[in-house]
Structure formats: C-alpha cells, structure tokens
C-alpha cells in the first residue's frame, strides 16, 4: 500500500506536469487556428506547405 508521502509525491509530480501539458494544448490550438485561416484562402500550395510545416513543428515540440 502507498503511504501518505507517496501520495503527496505523486500529486506534486502531476501538478508539475500541468503547465507543460497546457503549453502543448495552446500550441495545437494556435496551429489549428492558422490552418483554418488558410482553408479560406485559394492557394493550395500555401496550405500544403503550412500543413507540412505545422506537422514537423508539432512533432519536434512533442519530442522535447
């Protein structure tokens, strides 16, 4: 069974992860907003390039 100290340690670890998870969510929402803006434009090449760029940036961001 876990002791009170182990529970407290687990809670502190989970609280430390929250800001990083929030940053990931904000970053994904930021990319989604710009991709939606590009859907309204008529340049398909620009849409494809931005989509590839956002996928690469997202992949690199999650590796850190």
Question: Tens digits of per-residue pLDDT, 2-53?
Answer: 677 777 777 667 666 667 667 777 777 777 777 777 666 666 767 777 788 8
Of the candidates 25, 26, 34, the one whose C-alpha atom is nearest the C-alpha of residue 54 is 34
Number of domains in the chain: 1
Residue 27 lies in a domain: yes
Residue 14 lies in a domain: no
DSSP the chain: ---HHHHHHHHHHHHHHHHHHHHHHHHHHHHHHHHHHHHHSS-HHHHHHHHHHHHHHHHHHHH-
Domain that residue 56 falls in: 22-64
pLDDT value for 1: 55
Residue 7 lies in a domain: no
Of the candidates 17, 37, 31, the one whose C-alpha atom is nearest the C-alpha of residue 60 is 31
Residue 1 lies in a domain: no
Residue 11 lies in a domain: no
């Amino acid at each position: 069974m876990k002791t009170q100290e182990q529970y407290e340690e687990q809670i502190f670890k989970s609280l430390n992860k929250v800001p990083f998870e929030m940053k990931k969510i904000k970053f994904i929402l930021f990319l989604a907003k710009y991709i939606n803006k590009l859907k309204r434009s008529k340049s398909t090449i620009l849409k494809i390039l931005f989509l590839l760029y956002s996928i690469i940036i997202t992949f690199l961001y999650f590796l850190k």
